[in-house]
Amino acid sequence: MFRGWSRGAALASWCALTGCSEPDLPSSEVWTPPAIALREDGWRCGELHAHSDHSHDGEDTVAALVGLAASLGTIPVTTLLPEYVDNGLDFLALTDHRTIDGLSDPGWTSDRLLLIGGQESGDPSRIGHGLAWGIDRLIVDDPDLDGVTAADVAATIADVHDLGGAFGVAHPTLGDYPWGWETLGADSIEVWNGGWSDQSPTMTSADIEGLLARGGESSEALLHAVGLQGAGGSMQALAMYEALLSQGVHLAITGGSDRHQLRAPGFPAMYVRAESDGIAGIVAGIRARHTFVSRTPTSTQLLLEVRVGGVEYGLGDRVPVPPGGVEVEVSLRVGRGLGGRALLIAGEDVEPAGDMLERAELDEPVNAYDERFTVSLWAEPGQWVYPMVWDPLFAPGLTEEESARVRALAEATVGSRLGEESLLLWLARDLGGDGALDSARCGPGGWSPGQLLCLPKDTRGVTVLVPDIYDRALNVITSEERITEWAMGAIGSAVMFVEA
C-alpha cells in the first residue's frame, strides 16, 4: 500500500492556523514505505527510558517531555515528514533518577500517549542502573543505607514485581555505570541505549577494575562482553545478552533514548506486543519478552515465527523441544528494511571473550519492503536464536556531499570521540548555520528537509529530530575500531528452546 500525501498543502493549512510562515517545500505527492500492520496484532511503539527535570541531570519539564513524545505523530512533524503519519509513539515511560515526583506533576497527562509510571534506580555507587515500569510508588534500592548490595537489588526487583511492574537492567556496559550484578530476576536488558554508536563507548578492563573497587561484581556475562573490543559498547551489551542466554537467563531486549535533552524521545523506538490495554498490557508484554527495538519510529520492523509440531511461537517465546532435539522452521519477516541485511543469530554456549557475535544461521540482503526469510534449524534444549536487521549506512540517493557528511559523522562516533551534544552541534553547523539549535528561532517555518528539525514543544534549550540519513550515522556498526557500511536497524528478543 503506497500512501499519497501532499505535504505542501497540509503545511499551508497548519500555517493558516498558527501564523507560521510557509517554508519553500515541494508540493508534489510523496509516498512512505509500506509497513507491516503491527498495531492490529497488539504491537505498540514508544519510549521506555526518558528523564524530565525531576532528574538532577534532565533539562525539560514533564509537560515538555510529554509534548515532545506526542509531537512525532502529529502536525507539523507529519507535514514535513509524512512517514510519521500513523507512526508516532503510543507510549512514554518516565524514568527519573531515584524519584517518582514527576508522576504527580500536572504535566504528566496526555490524551494521545499511554503514560507509564517508572523510575531509574541505582546511582551514587554507580554499580548499576535499573529501570522500573508500571509502578506508582518510590522504589528504594538501599533501604538500610549501607550501600547497594546484590541482595538489595534482588529485593528491589521483587518489590517492582509485587507492584505489578517490570524491571529492566539499564545500559549494562556503559563504562561509568555498568551493571555490576547478576541479573537477579530482572525481566529485560537495555541493549540499545541512545544511538547504537554515539552514546556507547567501548567498555574496558579498567572499567571492570573501577566497578570492583566500588563494590560491584563482574559477572561472567559482563566479562564476556568486555572481551569484545573495537565494536563499541552496544555490541558489548549484545554480546552480554548472548552470554546470558547461554546461561539460560532469558531476558527481553529493550532500547531507550535515555533522553535528558537535545534528541527526541523514540530514538531508538521500542516495540512491545501488549497483552492487553493499558499499562498492564505493556508490562506483561515486556515480562513475556515480546519486544523488538528499531532505529526510529519509522524504520525497520521485524517479526519472528518459529513453528514446531504445528504450534507457532514468536519473538521472546520459550519453545519446548524434545531432549534430543527436533527440526524447527524459523521465519523472519522484515518490514521497511529494503536495502538492509537480515540476520538470524543462533547459539547455545559462548566462551568468555568470544568472537563478535555467535553464528549467523541467516545473512541475506533485504530486497523488498515486506520480506520473509525462512530457515530450518536443528534445535535442542538450551539453544537460542534472535533476529537483527542492519540498515545501509548510506541511504539510497545521497548526494556526494551528503555521503561525505554521513561518513564523517559516523567516524566521529567511533570510540565516542564526540559526545552527543558535540555531534549535534557539529551536524547543525555543517548543515548551514545553528538555527536548528536556537530555541528562539524554532518553528516549522524554519524547517527544511535533510536538516535538523527543532521541535517547538521544547521550552528550555532545544530538541531536534535528526534526519534519517544522518540518524544512520549515529547508529553505525563498527568493527575493529572502524566504521562498517552498516547501521543497526532493528533487533528482537531471542526465542529460547527448552526441554518439553
Tell me the window of 56-64, 166-174, 264-272, 451-459 that interacts with Zn ion (CB under 5 A). 166-174
Tell me the window of 100-108, 113-121, 221-229, 398-406 that interacts with Zn ion (CB under 5 A). 113-121
Tell whether residue 129 is a contact of Zn ion (CB under 5 A): yes
Tell whether residue 54 is a contact of Zn ion (CB under 5 A): no
Tell whether residue 96 is a contact of Zn ion (CB under 5 A): no
Tell whether residue 141 is a contact of Zn ion (CB under 5 A): no
Tell whether residue 47 is a contact of Zn ion (CB under 5 A): no
Tell me the window of 38-46, 115-123, 233-241, 439-447 that interacts with Zn ion (CB under 5 A). 115-123
Q: Please, what is the minimum distance in Å from the beta carbon of residue 179 to Zn ion?
A: 10
Q: Which residue minimizes CB distance to Zn ion? A: 129
Q: Please, what is the minimum distance in Å from the beta carbon of residue 260 to Zn ion?
A: 7
Tell whether residue 126 is a contact of Zn ion (CB under 5 A): no
For 291, the grid coordinates are: 519486544
DSSP line for 3-40:
--EEHHHHHHHHHHHH-PPPP----SEE--------GG
**Which residues, in sequence order, are CB contacts of 339 under 8 Å at separation 6+?**
365, 366, 391, 392, 396
For 431, the grid coordinates are: 548543515
Tell me the window of 135-143, 256-264, 390-398, 483-491 that interacts with Zn ion (CB under 5 A). 256-264
Comparing CB distances to Zn ion, the nearer of 128 and 492 is: 128
Q: Please, what is the minimum distance in Å from the beta carbon of residue 382 to Zn ion?
A: 32
**Residue carrying the nine cell digits 517465546:** 317
Comparing CB distances to Zn ion, the nearer of 131 and 282 is: 131
* Spatial distance between the Cα atoms of 160 and 436, rounded to a whole number of angstroms: 40
Comparing CB distances to Zn ion, the nearer of 129 and 295 is: 129
Residues 190, 255 contacting (CB under 8 angstroms):
yes
3: closest CA among 31, 42, 43?
Answer: 31
CA end-to-end span of the chain:
41
Tell whether residue 187 is a contact of Zn ion (CB under 5 A): no
- 84 backbone dihedrals φ, ψ, rounded to 5°: -85, -10
The amino acid at residue 423 is: L
Tell whether residue 420 is a contact of Zn ion (CB under 5 A): no
Tell whether residue 341 is a contact of Zn ion (CB under 5 A): no
Comparing CB distances to Zn ion, the nearer of 67 and 128 is: 128
Tell me the window of 11-19, 163-171, 348-356, 483-491 that interacts with Zn ion (CB under 5 A). 163-171
Comparing CB distances to Zn ion, the nearer of 178 and 314 is: 178
* Spatial distance between the Cα atoms of 358 and 379, rounded to a whole number of angstroms: 15
Q: Please, what is the minimum distance in Å from the beta carbon of residue 147 to Zn ion?
A: 18
Angstrom CA distances, 483 to 295, 303, 416, stand at 17, 27, 12
Comparing CB distances to Zn ion, the nearer of 98 and 472 is: 98
Tell whether residue 98 is a contact of Zn ion (CB under 5 A): no
Angstrom CA distances, 234 to 226, 241, 359, stand at 11, 11, 18
Determine the size of the site formed for Zn ion (CB under 5 A): 4
Residues 214, 208 contacting (CB under 8 angstroms):
no
- 235 backbone dihedrals φ, ψ, rounded to 5°: -65, -30
How many alpha carbons lie under 13 Å from residue 277 in its C-beta half-sphere? 0
Tell whether residue 263 is a contact of Zn ion (CB under 5 A): no
Q: Choose which of 60, 90, 190, 258 interacts with Zn ion (CB under 5 A).
A: 258
Comparing CB distances to Zn ion, the nearer of 58 and 340 is: 58
Tell whether residue 259 is a contact of Zn ion (CB under 5 A): no
Helix (H) or strand (E) holding 142: none
Strand runs labelled E in 122-206: 130-133, 166-169, 188-193
Q: Please, what is the minimum distance in Å from the beta carbon of residue 418 to Zn ion?
A: 20
Comparing CB distances to Zn ion, the nearer of 125 and 484 is: 125
Residues at the contact surface with Zn ion, assessed by CB under 5 A? 120, 129, 170, 258
